[in-house]
A and B are shown apart, each in its own frame.
Chain A
Amino acid sequence: MKTSLFIIAGAVAVTTLASMLLSSCGGKEKAAAGISPQSMADALHAVMESDRIVYTKQVVNRLQNEEKIIKASEHWKDEKALPLPAQMFRMGAEMVAEKKKGFTYSLLSEWPINKQNAPKTEAEKNGLSHVGKNKGQNYYTEETLGATKYFTAVYPDVAVAAACVKCHNGHEDSPRTDFVEGDVMGGVVIRIPLSSAK
């Protein structure tokens, strides 16, 4: 009799202790101890920006404008030329979208060459305007598109090389002809889905 009582008491004690310990790890109240959407967006942007700057400076600007041995062209396949940095960026974005890793990103501008890349949603319009007027700042918000809520981050896209302004100022479809190196020409928009909107 005493032995079984002892066993039952022990079992209850162990169960209570275990549930207390187990519930405190990743418990219901606080979010999973992981990475915030903003940190994730910043990290992704750091990679995107760096890869594109390397391509723009060390490949396009150096070979086209300094060494003058190959051109970069919108129609790079037909003209056996280098893809434009914006195209390299977009091709990467399309490949990432196919891999379905949850996030998407795009390159937009208030002065786009292709009008489909003008800001469309409120977040994009506000974000591009903000990063254009506030040098060095990013823009973070949340928006709902379709049936999904997104964390949306907008980063300034700066003319880092002569190649950038030379092409955009001279392009038939560019609405501006007065960009200079260092100007914010547009923005990178990264979207990370949060939960589905209610």
Chain B
Amino acid sequence: MLLLVAGYLSSRFFRTDEDATVFLPGPTTHGHHQIEMKCAVCHEPWGGVREQSCIDCHGAALAAGDDSHPKAKFTDPRNADRLLAIAADKCVTCHVEHRPEATLAMGVTQPQDLCHQCHAEIAQERPSHKGMSFTTCSSVGCHNYHDNTALYEDFLAKHSTDPATLLQALLPELTAKTKTIAGAGRAPEPDHGIPSGEGGGKILAAWQGSGHATAAVNCTACHAAAGPWKDQPGQDSCTECHKEENAGFREGLHGMRLAQGLTPMQPAMARLPMKPDAAHSALTCTSCHGPHDVDTRRAAVDSCLQCHNDGHSLAYKNSSHYRLWQAELSGTAPAGSGVSCATCHMPREEHVVAGKSVVRPQHNQSLNLRPVEKMARGVCIRCHGLGFTLDSLADPKLGRTNFDGHPGRHVESIDMVLRRRSSSAKPK
């Protein structure tokens, strides 16, 4: 009998596909469930969670968001007594997996009032906080444990007079990947035979109208990059030139399986509602960007909606954001004034590369998702005032209607800052 059980368990142990579920002590959170079968990503062999695993995937994003509670804050020996109460120098103290019954929002497995462990005296420093419950510190749009880049006092004060919608509400223009080839007035010639028939004609037309054609990226560049011709060259052919996009893609929920060497994500594996037709489509670069037309405008909305079937996605086409997008596409509104899915979920980021300022879309569409305040700086305040933004993000109803309508909640933080400063006796 024992041999049978042992045999069964060991046969399941060495598989990383879904059949190893017998070893799962409990389901993982939405952020990790795609890779939950590959225990070694997070766990030491036969053991506990490796702290470095958290940092490997999440460290860069935490640092970029100017983490308010980095490990460095807790390593000083003067905090030794606090670490006995709550070991805040370790990610897993507050983020335990496999315990859905004990997991609150943001994957936190500590009581919601954990802030009082170190900030019990806050009412003395900030009389405005007298009487506030510690369960509301990070749940009402005022504070986040990690990313407070849109919420710190001076920033709130700086943006206290912003109108709901800014006069200049335009996204920065994306930096072109390469220069277009001079004399690109004529349709470029393909450097490989095109299959005959309607299918071939479509491929040729799609490619000739694409950004690849104007940049002299011809058939063999992707199909014969590694030598012999391949009809389906696979993702590596994209990665050669699009390293940044690929890296971002693999950090987010779309590409995290590929990042761990697993098969590509399919909508059937998702927890969010997905369109039944798309259930078994593999999620790779060409899922959103057609392989030949590589159309980024299609990738900004239609590609998303070919899979995503939740309330927020289905409500998009009824929203004022979509109306702006339609106006931009039709040419009746300036470029950068429209709001597509990608505007919010793959925001344009300014970087300095070799001394030059470039604007690139962030391909990690999970980066600014949770908590919602993370969307404020990179996305919302490009077009809206900070107060309006915080109110809108704090209203769960607005998320469901895809921001169709005005916020029904008000976040007090800006008012509190202004009250404090106007009654201050400090010399300026």
Contact = CB atoms under 8 A, between A and B. Distances in A.
A169 interface: yes
Contacts of A94: 70, 72
Given A145-B80, A172-B420, A75 B426 contact: no
Nearest to A77: B66
B78 A145 contact: yes
Interface in B134-176: 149, 152-155
A2 interface: no
B81 A146 contact: yes
A146 B426 contact: no
Interface string B405-428: 000000000000000110010111
Interface in B91-149: 118, 121, 125, 149
Contact of A191 (B77, B81, B421): B77
B159 to A, nearest CB: 11
B76 A124 contact: no
A interface majority secondary structure = mixed
A10 B70 CA distance: 65
A169 B70 CA distance: 29
B424 A124 contact: no
A150 interface: yes
Interface in A93-119: 94, 97-98, 104, 106, 115-116
Contact of A97 (B75, B121, B421): B75
Contacts of A120: 78
A10 to B, nearest CB: 55
Q: How large is the interface on A (under 10, 10 to 19, 20 to 34, 35 or more residues)?
A: 20 to 34
Contacts of B84: 146
A29 B154 CA distance: 59
A97 B72 contact: yes
Contacts of B424: 172
Nearest to B154: A75
B interface majority secondary structure = helix
Contact of B78 (A77, A115, A121): A121
Nearest to B70: A94
A171 interface: yes
A123 to B, nearest CB: 9
A120 B118 CA distance: 12
A172 B426 contact: yes
Contact of A146 (B77, B420, B421): B77
B409 to A, nearest CB: 26
Interface string B244-266: 00000000000000000000000
A177 B426 contact: yes
Which of A150, A170, A172, A193 has the largest count of B CB atoms less than 10 A from its CB? A172
A181 interface: no
Interface in A60-84: 74-75, 77-78
A148 interface: yes
Given A97-B72, A115-B125, A106 B427 contact: no
A97 B80 contact: no
Interface string A159-177: 0000000000111111001
Nearest to B377: A78
Given A115-B121, A121-B78, A74 B154 contact: yes
Contacts of A189: 78
A78 B151 CA distance: 13
A142 to B, nearest CB: 13
Contacts of A146: 77, 80-81, 83-84
B76 A97 contact: yes
Contact of B81 (A98, A145, A173, A177): A145
A170 B78 contact: no
Contacts of B153: 172
Which of B77, B83, B426 has the largest count of A CB atoms less than 10 A from its CB? B77
Nearest to B82: A120
Nearest to B71: A98
B37 to A, nearest CB: 34
Interface of B: 66, 70, 72, 75-78, 80-81, 83-84, 118, 121, 125, 149, 152-155, 420-421, 424, 426-428
Interface of A: 74-75, 77-78, 94, 97-98, 104, 106, 115-116, 120-121, 124, 145-146, 148, 150, 169-174, 177, 189, 191, 193
29 contacts: A75-B152, A75-B154, A75-B155, A78-B155, A94-B70, A94-B72, A97-B72, A98-B72, A98-B75, A106-B78, A116-B118, A121-B78, A124-B78, A145-B77, A145-B80, A146-B80, A146-B81, A146-B84, A148-B77, A169-B427, A170-B426, A170-B427, A170-B428, A171-B426, A172-B153, A172-B421, A173-B125, A191-B78, A193-B77
Query: 4 nearest interchain CB pairs?
Result: A146-B80, A94-B72, A145-B80, A145-B77
Given A121-B78, A171-B426, 6 more contacts: A78-B149, A104-B77, A146-B77, A146-B84, A170-B427, A189-B78
